[in-house]
Amino acid sequence: MELTVEDAERLHLFTVDEYMASDIPGRTELLGGLIYHVSAKYPPHTRAVRHLTKVLARGLDPDRFEVSVQDPIAVGGWTGRDAPEVDVAVIAAKAYDKTPTSDDTFAYIEVSDSTLLRDKRKKIPIYVRAGIATYHVNVPDRRVEFYPPGTTASAAPIIFSEAESFEIVGVTIRVGDLFGPR
């Protein structure tokens, strides 16, 4: 959908603080100051998120880390314009009065099946710009794409194939275990 000049002049770009104070029905996320409805979760997506959650929760030091699942993170802080619902994130283990920010985050993991192109275009660049290790579980291609801190979203990611393993904050995960049988 293309916006007209008149539409753009009427837009209100939300900050994370404004967005979190809103009472918006349904599941949403803030990307670039705009509010988007979150897509439905399909079985391949759910399987990968559950596996990541289980393996990370078992392998991480609970005094240092916790696993955040499908919750928003204020990527640019509370005055920023991005609060994506991150599929899985490794965050600092502490009490949060507000949504965690990138300062609290050690890794972003986005799982994409039906939303692959949208996530590559909108969400992955947000995570990568924050300078945090970013993992993109590409369900259709049955692989994990890794963007190390200090890279850009336009850079070629490090690819882990279905037969390989990768690490998130010292926890080893087999790529093939994220997907169901062929």
Distance CA 176, CA 57 (A): 19
For the chain, 182 residues long, give each residue's pLDDT as a single digit of tens.
Answer: 565 666 656 778 899 999 988 888 788 889 989 888 888 788 999 999 999 999 999 999 999 999 999 999 999 998 999 999 999 999 999 999 999 999 999 999 999 999 999 999 999 999 999 999 999 999 999 999 999 999 998 999 999 999 999 999 999 999 999 998 87
Distance CA 36, CA 168 (A): 28
Give me the sign of the Cα torsion angle 98, 63, 87, 25.
negative
Give the amino acid at 2: E
CATH number of the domain where residue 114 is located: 3.90.1570.10
- For residue 72, give its domain range: 5-178
Please tell me the pTM assigned to this model: 0.90
- Cα torsion 31, 71, 98, 105 to 10°: value is -80
Question: Into how many domains does the chain fold?
Answer: 1
